[in-house]
């Protein structure tokens, strides 16, 4: 049985709204009808929905990480939030923990329409996050121009002084220089690691490994070049500090930090590392990795290959049969056959979507939120102006020797909160009803045939298909998707490229 929690809210500014008791009754009826167990209740009384700073609401968001429940049941969408952007952000946060929100009086179900609608909301949430990140990045880039420490991991061999500048940490820098010199003299990574371990030299309490040494040897910062914004923080929602950005985005300032090694030593090491690189062999790309399960033994199917008469054949094979030999199934399915079946399945499903019907439902969904973003922007700007005046007066007072630091701190925090609210309100005002043409363009994003790369095609497939079960000796494939009413189905993972979603949304 699916486990859920309920969230109810009653604001004192509109007495005509449903009471919490009425909301709970509707939620209970829905849960009983759909075989859902409500294990916990969260509620906020006499609190507005124009902000998510509500104690019951915030506790629910926090508890989602426990994994105790997979659904949040609310009465209507406006009980969750009145602000579209706030709603999108918090739904996105819940989704990261496999938790989905259902408005029992406005349930779109788990069908094609709901999946498309969630894609738009995810786009809005990511768009807001990027806008906020861009504002934060402005300040960080100013710090970078001054060669200041911008937070995060402090590079081994360095420390940060009171002025947030990099300084050499003598004992660590000695080890860094030693590693560079040993590689320059022909030592292998394994020899260096063995030597350091035998001497009891650790890397800030951690053991050395080949990746750590390789990353150190490739890091130009040790030659005194200050570098910031070099790599992407996340790729496809996963942390990745190895894929570099375009040179135009990277801050590089020679002499911006003290050098541990000479430029000549660094270049000698780079030349040696290039000679050690082995030529890359072609890797076969399997679109369905992680989705396929054996209907006989429950093991995962993995990509594999075989050769016959010098020709390579690609398969998905039951890992239970391959590694343990304890599976009764035939164990193999041709890669091209199963991948074509998956693509054809998605195409059949999306072709059933009616763009006109979806457009009507989605626009009705938008209308459930209170408008008035323009008025909120006006009020926020007015308060921001007042806060700035107060801050300037306090700064003047500090110059005369008056201690008003605590009041200044309070006003500065309020200013930051107002600036964030202003971004949200502007974003909310910029979102318009979608047209049928825009919906058709969105549906096209779910067509694997339109993907330009294999990775894009894989992302689309994994967006919709959550599980494939291979059953029987005839190797029949059963597909489970994000709109199946099944316990194995969880909230959908992020899909279409954000740029495409925004391209649709920004059209007027």
CATH number listed for the domain at residues 2-107: 3.40.50.1390
Q: Is the dihedral of CA 442, 368, 92, 72 positive or negative?
A: negative
- Confidence at residue 173, expressed as pLDDT on a 0 to 100 scale: 96
Per-residue pLDDT of the chain (508 residues; tens, 9 = 90+): 789 999 988 754 443 445 778 888 889 998 998 889 999 999 887 554 444 567 888 899 889 988 899 999 988 776 676 555 567 667 777 887 888 888 887 655 555 556 556 555 555 555 555 566 677 778 888 889 999 998 888 999 999 999 999 999 999 999 999 999 999 999 999 999 999 999 999 999 888 999 899 999 999 999 999 999 887 665 444 445 557 788 888 899 999 999 999 999 999 999 999 888 766 666 788 999 889 988 888 888 999 888 888 888 999 988 887 776 668 776 788 899 899 988 988 888 777 778 888 778 777 766 655 456 677 788 889 999 998 898 888 877 877 777 777 888 888 888 888 887 787 777 665 555 677 887 787 778 778 888 888 888 998 888 788 888 888 766 677 877 654 433 322 222 233 333 333 343 333 2
Helix residue ranges per DSSP H, 400-448: 405-430, 436-444
**Vertex 140, ends 139 and 145: CA angle to 5°?**
100
Quick one: pLDDT at residue 6? 93
Residue appearing with tokens 């049985």: 1
Q: Are the C-beta atoms of residues 27 and 74 closer than 8 Å to each other?
A: yes
CATH number of 154-276: 3.90.1750.20
Separation of alpha carbons 333 and 474, rounded Å: 10
CA proximity to 423, closest of 373, 465, 387: 373
pTM for the full predicted model:
0.43
Return the closest-CA partner of residue 51 out of 93, 15, 87.
87
Dist. CA 422–CA 427, nearest whole Å? 9
């Amino acid at each position: 049985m699916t486990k859920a929690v309920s969230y109810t809210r009653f604001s004192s500014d509109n007495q005509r709204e449903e009471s919490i008791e009425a909301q709970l009754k509707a939620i209970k009826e829905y849960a009983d009808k759909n075989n859902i167990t409500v294990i916990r209740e969260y509620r906020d009384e006499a609190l507005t929905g124009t902000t998510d700073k509500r104690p019951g609401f915030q506790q629910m968001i926090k508890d989602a990480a426990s994994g105790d429940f997979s659904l949040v049941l609310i009465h209507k969408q406006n009980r969750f939030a009145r602000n579209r952007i706030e709603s999108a952000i918090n739904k996105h946060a819940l989704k990261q923990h496999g938790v989905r929100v259902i408005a029992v009086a406005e349930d779109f179900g788990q069908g094609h329409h709901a999946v498309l609608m969630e894609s738009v909301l995810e786009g809005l949430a990511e768009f807001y996050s990027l806008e906020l990140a861009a504002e934060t990045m402005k300040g960080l880039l100013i710090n970078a121009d001054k060669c200041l420490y911008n937070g995060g991991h402090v590079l081994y061999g360095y420390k940060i002084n009171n002025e947030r500048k990099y300084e050499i940490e003598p004992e660590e820098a000695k080890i860094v220089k030693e590693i560079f010199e040993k590689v320059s003299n022909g030592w292998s990574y394994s020899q260096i690691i063995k030597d350091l371990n035998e001497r009891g030299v650790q890397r800030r309490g951690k053991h050395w490994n080949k990746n750590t040494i390789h990353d150190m040897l490739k890091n130009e910062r040790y030659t005194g070049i200050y570098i910031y914004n070099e790599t992407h923080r996340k790729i496809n929602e996963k942390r990745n500090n190895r894929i570099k950005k375009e040179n135009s985005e990277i801050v590089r300032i020679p002499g911006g930090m003290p050098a541990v090694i000479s430029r000549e030593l660094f270049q000698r090491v780079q030349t040696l590392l290039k000679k050690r690189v082995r030529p890359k062999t072609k890797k076969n790309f399997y679109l369905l990795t992680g989705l396929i399960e054996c209907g006989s033994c429950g093991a995962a199917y993995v990509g594999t290959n075989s050769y016959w008469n010098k020709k390579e054949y690609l398969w998905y094979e039951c890992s239970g049969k391959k590694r343990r030999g304890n599976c009764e199934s035939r164990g193999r399915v041709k890669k091209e056959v199963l991948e074509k079946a998956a693509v054809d399945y998605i195409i059949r499903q999306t072709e059933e979507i009616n763009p006109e019907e979806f457009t009507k439902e989605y626009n009705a969904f938008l209308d459930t939120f209170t408008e008035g973003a323009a008025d909120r922007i006006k009020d926020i700007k007015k308060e921001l102006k007042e806060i700035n005046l107060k801050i300037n007066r306090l700064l003047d007072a500090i110059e005369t020797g008056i201690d008003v630091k605590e009041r200044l701190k309070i006003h500065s925090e309020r200013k930051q909160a107002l600036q964030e609210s202003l971004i949200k309100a502007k974003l909310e005002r910029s979102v318009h009803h979608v047209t049928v043409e825009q919906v058709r363009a969105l549906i096209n994003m779910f067509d694997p045939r339109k993907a330009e790369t294999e990775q894009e095609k894989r992302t689309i497939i994994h967006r919709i298909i959550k599980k494939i079960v291979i059953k029987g000796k005839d190797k029949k494939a059963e597909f489970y998707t994000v709109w199946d009413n099944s316990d194995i189905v969880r909230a959908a993972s992020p899909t279409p490229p954000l740029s495409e979603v925004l391209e649709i949304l920004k059209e007027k």
